[in-house]
A and B are shown apart, each in its own frame.
Chain A
């Protein structure tokens, strides 16, 4: 047996109290001159032995009661407890961290890891020593703080744990651990952080920072409590890890290519699994069967669907439900825009349309005959540099400078302002455009590179696949063709600016950039090394030209900054007409029985009416209503981070840094302190015995006072 609070044994000195009181009573005597001594002596002779015996028994009982109370306070336990782990059973100051990330939804068929972790947290709180304080943080890729600071109101903490719910968010332990350490810093006594989690490996992506944090707070110990449930690998875990459009611009009624990434996160190969794709929650409109997907393998499955009309739509891919349900379903929000205006600024060598340098570009953007062009979703306007009306630039979604004549400085300034306001500008310098022109303001502020005098490249081809830039990922699929046949006869050498806003989309075979992209303000600028004319390159004649130009349009078009697919907890924001200012905003969540819930109102942000909605922690389709709840004004989707499907578990001692040479490792990780319950049980037994003996002492005292 050992005592968790041996200091309390000093209370055994209190055993002397009954003896002292007994002796004091003996000394505190009143003298009485008495006549009837004869009867007193008779009574004393008759009772002396019994009285002494009863007094002795009472004294022993009182001492025993005191001894048992002291014994209880010393918190005895029969279990062997490492004193280093459990210092004297003093009250603890604890921050409880409960993981509510999506991976905690993994189930063994009976209960989820989250339920097991929550039960473990409740049991831990129940067993805390008296006088302890606890706080509660809910961990995901950030953290929520129902009880941000340790409090002695453990009932509040327990209630907060009971109210915690599983979310569809990712995992990152670092922010919550940092907040917990800060909450415990400067507090007295023994401090611990108890993390109830599945200890998912991806949650420790900032492991080194966590270790550094704990090295800076050696007084705080971290206990990782992973429920025993589901410690083993999940045998079957097929996950949809990505869902995206593979079509540059979704058009109502036209086939849209959707790419579904399916990963086998389980331990066994998968075959014959049906993948379905539904539009707007309707029955599946496309499906495919996945065969022979090895453990850890990933497969991209293209599916074709049609969106019925313009507006917001959701595409939902789904797999049969397995033990990790959240990643068997993924939703993508898509906006099908109505007809957009595109301006092509060109140079003309004659009166006919085909004599303009933007002829091939215009044909690629609207590859239909004149009759169908009126119904096409892109309305192409072709002008020369001289006809460019700087006051009407904002009407266009994208402006192409396709080998145009030199732009006047005022027009260039208007173009720069247009881009910063959110417009898309595609610059394709050509024959009439001297490179020096682009060295003058404002071009260096908006172009991604500086231009030099055109020259003939030594190798006119472009780099082979794979391509990383979204403009070109289509050609990573051999079925979509390739860019190997592309040739450039003359190019403007491009020297990219050293800026994080600049990205190289495509390089020539010699490694020099061919296509560059730069974010400018709320808009985007794409720079080509050559104009879309056959004299410079065969790109206009290449099969990839049409999809490439559509992708360029889609990537740079005004309004494409609207982010419809968010991670849990991110903010969805969209500009709305100014007349909707201050109107209430409602959001309906993904649940089938969800109702629109007011989340705020339209706000004024930088002189524009802006709708801002914090995405909920639930993955799926969210409908946003402004001022009414009949027809959604926006639809966005919340997608759980794909890495959350990776159920690999970190080792229990993940926080123990590898010891440096010659240095002793400082154990930041300690085992869960289980003996609380045992200690508590003995404590209660001792108190119960003390209470029983107190009753016995009381009854004996009453009986003896009557019998004498």
Chain B
């Protein structure tokens, strides 16, 4: 429980809260909220008229126009609605890496918890899924702020131990997505960028807004290691003994190439991409993204 509490960093939340999380797009909601609903129907604010087509509910006919012009028009209205945020957390074994006290999974849990709390606080709904090679645990959809603690517990329950399968998990999740919303994917995305591209494309087809947070350790980014080191893979048993100084230049070249591919995939799918360095404070990454989002409208 203590671990779940620590995910909600008060400092992070206090900095991020004023910014809120506003849906960049019109989202479908199941109750009136601060977000515009794509459904024009029976709300207070008139939107437009359209011609009646058989099957329309006769209660929406504009009788005044029918009386004056003897034409059948249906009145359409706009209404505000809330949204559902889908938090997808990668908990594959590679997320267990950390050169300092904060591992990637730790950082990612904190990020997901903070986002969830903020969303619940603005009376939107949150659902969370933790996966590696398949979905492992799910936090059911809720709009109750009181369930934030349960969300945290779910996030901390699973320890990274298995290799991941991002493409399969995301595609599967997209197939089960019933309504448009905001999909937040948090992971290290060290897999093949082509898999990521396919997964993001599938998510985009749901017309949901997709946000990607890539959580990486500082050593993975700058590769500053020295000495004779035997590297052991976290997701498989591959081993490589070498002097990092001998490979630094080539490693960084390959890594930057991969990062470019990840960004390109995100751009192609209209996905917001944010890189999170675990050596930087979580608040910095979260507020930075929310500020960008506010500006983008």
Q: Please report A residues at the B interface, Cβ cutoff 8 Å.
A: 25-26, 28-44, 46-47, 51, 704-705, 707-708
Q: A31-B232, A39-B255, A40-B247 are in contact. List 8 more A-B contacts (CB 8 A).
A: A31-B230, A33-B234, A34-B231, A35-B94, A42-B250, A43-B253, A47-B247, A707-B249
Residues of B within 8 A of A (CB): 94-97, 104, 188, 190, 217, 220, 225, 227-236, 238, 240-242, 245-251, 253-255, 258
Cα-based distance from A80 to B142 in the complex (angstroms)? 100
Cβ contact of A30, chosen from B97, B227, B236, B246, cutoff 8 A: B227
Please give, as numbers and ranges, the residues of chain A lying within 8 Å of B104 by CB-CB distance. Answer: 35
Task: Looking at the assembled complex, report how far the CB atom of B173 sits from the nearest CB atom of chain A, in whole angstroms.
Answer: 23
Expressed in whole angstroms, the Cα–Cα distance for A39 and B97 within the complex equals 15
Q: Tell me the bound Cα distance from A43 to B243 in angstroms.
A: 12
Chain A residues, CB < 8 A from B258 = 38-39
Q: State the CA gap A316–B190 with chains docked (Å).
A: 112
Out of A32, A47, A704, which one reaches B250, CB within 8 Å?
A47
**Contact partners of A705 in chain B: CB under 8 A:** 245
Q: In the complex, what residue of chain B is closest to A24 when comparing beta carbons?
A: B228
Partner of B247, one of A26, A28, A43: A43
- Contact A25 B220, beta carbon cutoff 8 Å: no
A selection of 14 A-B contacts at a CB cut-off of 8 Å is A29-B228, A29-B230, A34-B233, A35-B217, A36-B94, A36-B190, A37-B231, A37-B240, A39-B258, A40-B242, A44-B240, A51-B247, A705-B245, A708-B246
A43 to B246, CA, bound (A): 9
- A-B residue pairs, 7 tightest by C-beta: A43-B250, A35-B94, A35-B97, A37-B233, A39-B254, A43-B247, A34-B231
Q: Which of A41, A704, A708 contacts B240 (CB 8 A)?
A: A41
- Taking a contact as CB atoms under 8 Å apart, the answer to whether A32 and B255 are in contact is no
- Are B220 and A35 in contact, CB atoms less than 8 angstroms apart? yes
Shortest CB-to-CB span from A26 to chain B, Å, is: 7
Residues B229 and A32 in contact, CB atoms below 8 Å apart: yes
A36 to B229, CA, bound (A): 14
**Chain A: CB-nearest residue to B236:** A37
Q: How far is the CA of A42 from the CA of B240 in the complex (A)?
A: 11
Please tell me if the beta carbons of B232 and A40 are within 8 angstroms of each other in the complex: no
- A31/B229 contact (C-beta < 8 A), A39-B255, A40-B247 known: yes
Q: Is the CB of B231 within 8 A of A32?
A: yes
Q: A537 CA to B215 CA in the complex, in Å?
A: 145
In angstroms, Cα B97 to Cα A500, docked, is: 113
* Nearest B residue to A46, CB-CB: B250
Bound form: Cα–Cα A32–B240 in Å: 10
Which residues of the other chain, B, contact A40 by a CB distance below 8 angstroms? 231, 240, 242, 247, 251
Q: Which residues of B contact A28 (CB under 8 A)?
A: 228
Q: Which residues of A contact B248 (CB under 8 A)?
A: 708
Q: Chain B's nearest CB lies how many Å from the CB of A33?
A: 5
* A33, A40, A51 — most chain B CB neighbours (10 Å): A40
Give the residues in chain B near A707, CB-CB below 8 Å. Answer: 249
Query: With A31-B232, A38-B190 given, is the CB distance from A708 to B97 under 8 Å?
Result: no
Take A30-B230, A32-B230 as given contacts and tell me if A44 and B247 are in contact as well, using a CB distance cutoff of 8 Å. Answer: yes
Please report the C-alpha to C-alpha distance between residue A46 and residue B249 in the assembled complex, in whole angstroms.
11
Contact B229 A29 (CB under 8 A): yes
Name the one of B228, B232, B247 contacting A33, with C-beta atoms under 8 angstroms: B232
Query: Which residues of chain A are near B188, meaning CB under 8 Å?
Result: 35
Q: Is the CB of B240 within 8 A of A36?
A: no
Report Cα–Cα, A33/B246, bound state, in Å: 19
Chain B residue with Cβ nearest A707:
B249
B228 A34 Cβ-Cβ under 8 A: no
Let me know if B254 and A42 touch, CB within 8 A.
yes
Shortest beta-carbon distance, B103 to chain A, in Å? 10
Q: In whole angstroms, what is the CA distance A202 to B116 when docked? A: 117
Q: Are A34 and B234 in contact (CB under 8 A)?
A: yes
Partner of A708, one of B190, B236, B249: B249
Chain A residues lying within 8 Å of B217, measured Cβ to Cβ, are 35
Contacts of B225 in A (CB 8 A): 32
Contact A32 B251 (CB under 8 A): no
Known: A35-B97, A41-B238. A30 touches B229 (CB 8 A): yes
A44 proximity list for chain B (CB < 8 A): 240, 242, 247
Q: Are B190 and A35 in contact (CB under 8 A)?
A: yes
Most chain B CB within a 10 A radius of its CB, from A32, A36, A44, A708:
A36
Chain B residues with CB under 8 Å of A43's CB are: 247, 250-251, 253-254
Residues of A within 8 A of B245 (CB): 705, 708
Q: Are B97 and A34 in contact (CB under 8 A)?
A: yes
Complex Cα distance, B229 from A37, in Å, reads 13
- Write the nearest CB–CB distance from B244 to chain A, whole angstroms: 9
CB distance from A703 to the nearest CB of B (A): 12
Instruction: State the CA gap A362–B253 with chains docked (Å).
Output: 130
Q: Is the CB of B246 within 8 A of A51?
A: yes
Q: Report the Cα distance A34→B247, complex, angstroms.
A: 15
Contacts of B241 in A (CB 8 A): 29
In the complex, the answer to whether B251 meets A33 with C-beta atoms within 8 Å is no
The residue that B228 contacts in the complex, of A25, A46, A47, A51, with Cβ under 8 A, is A25
A705 to B104, CA, bound (A): 30
User: How far apart are the CA atoms of A39 and B242 in the complex, in Å?
Assistant: 13
A306 to chain B, nearest CB (A): 103
- Say which residue of B235, B246, B251 sits within 8 Å of A39 (CB atoms): B251
Smallest CB separation, B84 vs chain A (Å): 31
**B266 CB to nearest chain A CB (Å):** 19
Take A33-B234, A36-B190 as given contacts and tell me if A26 and B240 are in contact as well, using a CB distance cutoff of 8 Å.
Answer: no
**A21 to B100 alpha-carbon distance, docked (Å):** 31
- Take A705-B245, A708-B250 as given contacts and tell me if A35 and B234 are in contact as well, using a CB distance cutoff of 8 Å: yes
Q: A26-B228, A708-B245, A708-B246 are in contact. Are A33 and B190 (CB under 8 A)?
A: no
The smallest C-beta distance from B228 to any residue of chain A, in angstroms, reads 5
- Complex Cα–Cα for A32 and B244 (A): 11
Which residues of B sit under 8 angstroms from A34, Cβ to Cβ?
97, 231-234
Would you give the shortest CB distance from B239 to chain A, in whole angstroms?
A: 9
- CA A360 to CA B254, docked complex, whole Å: 136
| Chain B residue at minimal CB-CB distance from A31 | B230
In Å, the complex CA distance between A691 and B136 comes to 65
B167 to chain A, nearest CB (A): 15
For A27, the closest partner residue in chain B by CB is B228
Residues of B within 8 A of A25 (CB): 228
